[in-house]
Structure 1
Amino acid sequence: MPILPKRHKDLKNHPLGDLFRKAEKTHLKSHKEVRSWREVQREEAAGKELLDCMWVYIYKFDKHGWFTKCKARLVVRGDQQAKSTHEDTYASTLAGRSFRTLMAIAARFDLELLQYDIVNAFVNAELKQDVYMRMPGGYRKPGLILKLQKALYGLRQSPLLWQKELTTTLTNIGFKSVPHEPCCLSKGGILIFFYVDDLIVAYEKTNQKSVEWTIGKLREKYQLSGGDTLQWFLGIEIIRERNQRLIWLSQSSFVDKITSHFRIQGGKPSLTPMTTKELLPNK
């Protein structure tokens, strides 16, 4: 694949520039639909913090590694925000040990595992503070800037605002947080755990109707994609043998990536994880 562009002006001579421009317009349209911002005169931000933004471009691949599409996302330069000593910006994420525990529970009790992606998750959270941002590259208008109304990607406070938003939504439909794990909630035999915009639902088949009702409630507020059986989560492949009630967690794709990066494919495998030679003198 061609090297990814770093800024909008790089699209002019990029082999896939047209696809990335289309991705930009699709992304901006999604912001317009949820009213992520409104255009204001530059004078409104006089004496206030005015943040830059940047385009982030990525290639999307399917689970087999085949290219599927070009994607563009607008990110605020949150690194330009003044750090506040009184404002809490810490957002919890699902701990690795919690994920492994949940997989063990799913294996032991033969739970169904469904995976959903919440599209443009952060912009579902309202932004209470006044935050101003320059218009994105390629779409600027003279004398105008943007006043943000939603928690865009890149802002320091966005992850926490989104976590509070999703947790409140789940709490309002009867879910309760699991002790010591803020990113996992339960209700009547249904477990929901999430990592930013990746959401997993674990449940017994007898709770199928309750799960459908829950997903319906989430769809009333958020745009969800997916809904298939869990196969990948944060780069980890989930392999199940349900008749044996076993689940394997594999990072073979990560191993392949590392071996490719360091060019060690096809090397002679080591029989031990470290050298068998004595490194320290025997005294």
Structure 2
Amino acid sequence: MGSLESSKWKEAIKTELQALEDNHTWDLITTEPQQNIIDTKWVFKRKKNSEGKVQVYKARLVARGFQQTGISYDEVYSPVTSLTTVRILISIAAYYGWNIYQFDICSAFLHSSINEDIYIYLPEGHIQSGKVGKLRKAIYGLKKAPRYWYETFCNFMISQDFKRSKTDMCLYIKTFKNTKTFVIQYVDDILMISSDESTVESLKEQMAKTFKIKDLGLASYYVGIRILQNKDFISLDQCEYLKSILQLFNMSDCKGVTIPLEPNFNSSYLSRESSESQEIENRCRKLIGCIMYAMLDTRPDLSISISILSRFQN
């Protein structure tokens, strides 16, 4: 709060508190001794665009879910769409010349009702003597919050006559006459691809009635992937992500090469012997994991390199 950006963080907190109030997230009740009350904390983040510039200052009130006790956690798993699905549908859009639209569900988890008795301490500045909040809606940090949100969005899509794919639980498909529409869900980031623009507008209106959405127009940046849409082609890259990886491993000034692996590379150059430093070993594993994410998204040319390096992590 003492930084030069304090005014932006205060505005972000105000926006989050307003969202909590608008969604009637909790009821104020008097504390009882036997209640398990969960702490909350503020989490701050700068969300950047495809060019690496700060786009939004985000403040999130998060529950310390590790304090939850006495509640069944049988069903906490929440799926996210496969990146393979995203690439396949983008290639379909490119082939047919369809536009790809993107939406963001604002404070997504707050749209999900919960069916357990969960109590939280109120955030700083809103503490009232002897009062705690009994949650009506899921908030970030709860063990089941992602699953509650997934079920909420899934039920909404089914109510709009979409069918959930059997191979990807976050892909929804609607076929009407000669029109095909695909919706991809990655938590609160939504991609929509359709052969009919009126279907897109109709679904957008219905979505806005149920959730608070941010219409981002034509997709340009999705889960770290920059999407460039043109009349003749669609291209994908992770330029900013790769720059951040180079910076993280102090390689921003390294020289580029045109091929991902030396010709006639011999894996005997590498060794499974332990290094003198555990820190170096950990950094190598971290680096392989970071590059593997890029390989799965937009850089399949790195797969052989990653495959070889992964054999020598121990």
- Coarse TM-score class (shorter-chain normalised): 0.7 to 0.9
Task: Pick closer, same or farther for the CA change 1:231–1:19 going to 2, 3 Å.
Answer: closer
My pick for the range that moved more, 271-280 or 191-200, is 271-280
Task: Pick closer, same or farther for the CA change 1:186–1:267 going to 2, 3 Å.
Answer: same
CA separation in 1, counterparts of 2:90 and 2:53?
27
| 1:279 partner amino acid | Y
Deviations 1:257-281 (A, max 9, x none): 0111222122233565369575389
Gaps of 5+ in 2: 272-314
Task: Pick closer, same or farther for the CA change 1:180–1:236 going to 2, 3 Å.
Answer: same
2:128 aligned residue (141, 145, 153):
141
1:279 lines up with 2:269 in the alignment = yes
In the TM superposition, residue 26 of structure 1 has moved relative to its aligned partner by 1.7
Report the identity percentage. Answer: 25
CA separation in 2, counterparts of 1:274 and 1:146?
60
Show the counterpart of 2:14: 25
1:200 aligned residue (191, 205, 208):
191
Show the counterpart of 1:233: 222
Show the counterpart of 2:198: 209
Show the counterpart of 1:101: 88
Decide whether the 8 Å contact of 2:38 with 2:63 is kept in 1. Answer: yes
Gaps of 5+ in 1: 1-10
1:58 lines up with 2:49 in the alignment = no
1:91 aligned residue (61, 69, 78):
78
Show the counterpart of 2:25: 36
In the TM superposition, residue 109 of structure 1 has moved relative to its aligned partner by 1.9
Decide whether the 8 Å contact of 2:103 with 2:213 is kept in 1. Answer: yes
CA separation in 2, counterparts of 1:113 and 1:54?
36
CA separation in 1, counterparts of 2:188 and 2:125?
28
Decide whether the 8 Å contact of 2:49 with 2:221 is kept in 1. Answer: no
TM-score normalised to structure 1 length: 0.86
RMSD: 2.2
Deviations 1:61-96 (A, max 9, x none): 343333344321101111222385662010110012
TM-score normalised to structure 2 length: 0.78
